[in-house]
A and B are shown apart, each in its own frame.
Chain A
């Protein structure tokens, strides 16, 4: 067993453990922290695949930004996990059976008999001066610019949808548009009513 193989199994074991703990931890904050661990070990595995840029992005974006946000949300929301987990043990036998079945099927097909190194050769390792970042940057805006722009449009849809679904104007809001206030004219607020002046009844008589 070479050093990289040992590293791979070490990381893979941690990843599986962390993944299991994400769904079994009682405390949602712990679950989120285990997810951080899972991301981190996955990044380590990607590093072994010579995908250095993606590995670092995973740590920076997912661990650094997304999971921190997640932790905040989890801490702020009062989630009752016991309620969410009701029926877990009832569903477990069926779900576990199906999961085991899927695992066995996948192992049969994706095992070394069909996808092993003797069937599909290992890709040649890149030289030390090979830059993963440069390679990605080279194709991202050239060959794959269409897909890249489409991904951007999908993000735009996400923004539009999120705003459309959550922005609510309160009905009892007393908000006044400042521009309208500035533009207001005398005629909008003040109404001068011409009235006939009438002498007060009784005064004339008393003057006599």
Chain B
């Protein structure tokens, strides 16, 4: 019995992150109660080191390793780099918030890095096993991060809901995977696509499996009708955790969907496209309409997430490389907007004040014109108003949808986003034309302000010059499929 020696070089970023998490775990247990900043600094160092390793081993073509469980391709490398950036921004934004609420503990950073590891595994998975294990690693870390605020009954309730529904979704996903395995006889995505290419006489069980996979996927993405957990978890979790859940995992979920549907089940695109059409239309509709009624900003952003994820699905359902590329652009742009939106809530909050009500943003222009301007950019981008990145992202997705002859779908999505523009612009109105309710100075730290400025200006810059990022997305998809 002989085995080829495995290529470990492509897995260096994952190995590095795991080693560093273990180190942080030990260091924090030993001196964590005296050196509060140690875990924070080491976590940022981990992200920088992982980014260096990923850049150094940047793949030009897909390469399978570790027994075909792991794939290193441009898509995974680009997404990993964006994951590091997102997680780093999350940590910088949430530091002060966590410290004021006695949550500034090593566990937060350890769990966040474990979640990152899970996302990295998902992003470069080429096998049902790794996809599922990465998803579980991510989900388990997220459940416990939400519950970390033990004295808050709302957070505990949110964690419980998230856990129960997440477990149900995992069960559905696994059931669907087992059906597809039964039909194709393979768990590896490439073998699966090859087996399906010739056609199968087990069409009905295959579609049955795809239905379950899509339902599980929809749960994880949080799209209608599997969205029930999203508003409750977003509102109940401490804002720092909401920021984390709302940004990086969406990138990983996109990769998850594209890997399963676009790579493994690519020959069955006719089967899953109609399912995604239904999910996408319902999500864009419900997300935009229900958000109008919210007075809590976190809850409002939760509904906004639902509609944005609907747009991501629109890109995926095109089933073409330009469709996947535009969906990737959309999800990266959304991660940036979500970071900014929740980051702003964190910046305005202070000890004993959450700043998560709409009224808390009244008259922000008079308190801090710069932050109000950045928030204006964020809201314009979420609503899809030019010249922000949100406009270009929506445009690219809609082009892909029109490209496959679903013009009615594009029209419906545009009309529904117009409804959604109302509640984004309402925040702009509150910031600029209303008198402030709360006049205490904004206690955001300097580094968080700098990151927020970069974040807001990136939204503007990418809206004016979207081509480079779009080219990266198209190249990453093109070279990986």
Contact = CB atoms under 8 A, between A and B. Distances in A.
Interface of A: 109-110, 114-115, 119-120, 138, 142-147, 150-151, 153-154, 156-158, 160-161, 164-165
B66 A153 contact: no
B208 A109 contact: yes
A165 B144 contact: yes
A33 B425 CA distance: 60
Contacts of B114: 153, 156-157, 160
Interface string B119-140: 0010000010110011011001
Contacts of B121: 150
Given A146-B67, A154-B133, A115 B208 contact: no
B207 to A, nearest CB: 9
Interface string B84-126: 0000000000000000000001010011001001000100000
Contacts of B202: 114-115, 119-120
A157 B201 CA distance: 42
Contacts of B110: 160
Given A109-B205, A142-B3, A153-B137, 10 more contacts: A109-B204, A110-B205, A114-B202, A143-B67, A145-B67, A146-B130, A151-B133, A158-B140, A161-B143, A165-B148
Nearest to A169: B33
Interface string B402-418: 00000000000000000
A147 B25 contact: no
Interface in B136-167: 136-137, 140-141, 143-144, 147-148, 150
A186 B303 CA distance: 63
A113 to B, nearest CB: 9
**Interface band, chain B:** 35 or more
B69 A147 contact: yes
A165 B111 CA distance: 12
B205 A114 contact: yes
B1 interface: yes
Q: Main secondary structure on chain A at its contact with chain B?
A: helix
A156 B136 CA distance: 12
B182 A161 contact: no
A153 B134 CA distance: 10
A173 to B, nearest CB: 14
Contact of B130 (A109, A110, A150): A150
B148 to A, nearest CB: 6
Interface string B182-209: 1000000000000000000110110010
Contacts of A147: 69, 127, 129-130, 133
B234 interface: no
Interface string B289-320: 00000000000000000000000000000000
Contacts of B70: 146
Interface string B1-42: 101001000010000001000000100000000000000000
17 contacts: A109-B205, A115-B182, A115-B205, A119-B201, A142-B3, A144-B69, A146-B67, A146-B70, A147-B69, A147-B133, A150-B134, A150-B137, A151-B133, A153-B117, A157-B137, A161-B143, A161-B147
Contact of A145 (B66, B127, B136, B141): B66
A164 B159 CA distance: 14
Nearest to A113: B204
User: Which of A109, A119, A157 has most chain B Cβ within 10 Å?
Assistant: A157
Contacts of B6: 145
A137 to B, nearest CB: 11
A145 B147 CA distance: 31
Contacts of A165: 144, 147-148, 150
Contacts of A109: 204-205, 208
A150 B133 contact: yes
Nearest to B134: A150
A167 B291 CA distance: 38
Given A114-B204, A153-B18, A164 B148 contact: yes
A143 B69 CA distance: 8
Nearest to A166: B150
Contacts of B182: 115, 120
A95 to B, nearest CB: 14
A138 B3 CA distance: 11
B129 A157 contact: no
Nearest to B144: A161
Contact of A161 (B133, B140, B204): B140
A146 B129 CA distance: 10
Interface string B332-347: 0000000000000000
A164 B144 contact: yes
Contacts of B147: 161, 165
Contacts of B137: 150, 153-154, 157
Contacts of A154: 133, 136-137, 140
